[in-house]
Amino acid sequence: MMTMTLPHSRRATCGLLGLGLSAGIFTTAHAVENGSPITPPGIYDFGAGLLPPPTEFGTVGVRAATTHASELRDNAGQRAATVPSLRVDSYSLAYIRMTGQMVAGARYGWGGVIPLLDMSLDLHVPTPGGPLALSGRNQAVGDVQLIPLILQWTHGPGLFSNLQLSAQLPTGSYEQARLINAGSNHATLSPSWAFTWIQPGGLEVSSWFQLNFNQRNQATGYRSGTEFEQDFAVGQHWGPWTAGLGGYVYQQISDDVGPGLADGNRSRARALGPALSRFQPGSALPLVSMHLYRESGARNRSQGTSAAIRLGWSF
């Protein structure tokens, strides 16, 4: 049974699995240009409020995820006439360096993420002359994410939180005429806050909250609305294992703005599924975390299933 105070070795990798391994495109749909929130929901689960302590060379994390969707939901949550077949495989490399510097009672750190995306999309669009088939694929590096500000607080035994400010830069592959793109062609500023609470009996509650403030895509004149994201996980620790349920809530809280746009095209979705992690303090093995989420309640976006596995090492 886990005690209230986490050993440094677990804290060194637990937060990294969530931190920044978030660049990548997970869904395509009507709202949010190019069909994806900047930080795909479902990145953070157990240990969301934990980040590494200072180490000599920092902490490295890798994440592999796959998403499949075959439903497109309209503004009323009904199946749209357009039928998609979407597959996104993403591979992300993240680095975080926590320092000994203290700011407002918190330990300061910084980090960054580089994603590689393999994406394919087939669309069958109904027209008066019959179904129109469209296909696209993009295998390329996505937008780089920089995290210049990370603040980690330890409030007491078993209670941790962190504040992050990240900027996603339009460095990824993008072509205006392409059906699906690894890059967004605009910058986004994303503040976030997360916490982890672990009770003496081993019950854990973790959650992460983020806002995405999107800039305008100069190639199209389109500006996606502000997005709210919350990831969460509730589980029980048994020795090195933590098992339970995780998921997310995603909601646009302001309208998209663009040429010829009739309404705000706000999108939303929620997801739930099993989550599992394993870490043995003192072991040479990395922290491993995985989940399988199924979406529901989607509006103005695709609805599908995603699975991810994440690894983290401190040096």
Q: How far is CA 266 from CA 24, 30, 306, in A?
A: 20, 9, 22
The string of pLDDT tens digits covering residues 78-106 is 888 888 899 999 999 999 999 999 999 99
- pLDDT the model gives residue 32: 58
From first CA to last CA, the distance across the chain in angstroms is 27
Banded pLDDT at 5 (limits 50, 70, 90): very low
Determine the 3-state secondary structure of 24 from DSSP.
coil
- pLDDT the model gives residue 81: 87
pLDDT at 23 over 60: no
Is residue 245 assigned to a domain?
yes
pLDDT at 34 over 70: no
pLDDT at 19 over 70: no
SS (H, E, C) 148-191: EEEEEEEEECCEEEEEEEEEECCCCCCCCCCCCCCCCCCCEEEE
- pLDDT the model gives residue 90: 93
Is residue 35 assigned to a domain?
yes
Is residue 115 assigned to a domain?
yes
Q: What is the CATH number of the domain that holds 101?
A: 2.40.128.130
Which residues make Cβ contacts (< 8 Å) with residue 48, sequence separation at least 6? 15, 18, 194, 195, 196, 206, 207, 208, 231, 233
Region of residue 77 (left: phi > 0; alpha: psi -120 to 50; beta: else): left
Q: How many domains does the chain contain in total?
A: 1
- Looking at residue 46, the DSSP 8-state letter turns out to be T
pLDDT at 7 over 60: no
- pLDDT the model gives residue 304: 93
Is residue 63 assigned to a domain?
yes
Task: Calculate mean pLDDT across residues 266-290.
Answer: 89
Where is average pLDDT lowest: 12-26, 149-163, 170-184, 296-310?
A: 12-26
- pLDDT the model gives residue 41: 78
The string of pLDDT tens digits covering residues 211-270 is 999 999 999 999 999 999 999 999 999 999 999 999 999 999 999 998 877 777 899 999
**Domain that residue 74 falls in:** 8-314
What mean pLDDT, rounded, does the chain reach?
86
Task: Calculate mean pLDDT across residues 126-135.
Answer: 88
Is residue 281 assigned to a domain?
yes
The string of pLDDT tens digits covering residues 145-176 is 999 999 999 999 999 999 999 999 999 999 99
Task: Calculate mean pLDDT across residues 170-183.
Answer: 92
pLDDT at 36 over 60: no
Q: How far is CA 103 from CA 106, 115, 150, 153, in A?
A: 5, 30, 10, 10
Distance of CA 42 to the CA centre of its chain: 5
Is residue 2 assigned to a domain?
no
- pLDDT the model gives residue 76: 84
One-letter amino acid identity for 77? G
Where is average pLDDT lowest: 51-55, 56-60, 274-278?
A: 51-55
Cα-Cα-Cα-Cα dihedral sign, residues 148, 65, 48, 12? negative
Task: Calculate mean pLDDT across residues 43-50.
Answer: 92
Is residue 189 assigned to a domain?
yes
- Looking at residue 33, the DSSP 8-state letter turns out to be G
pLDDT at 298 over 70: yes
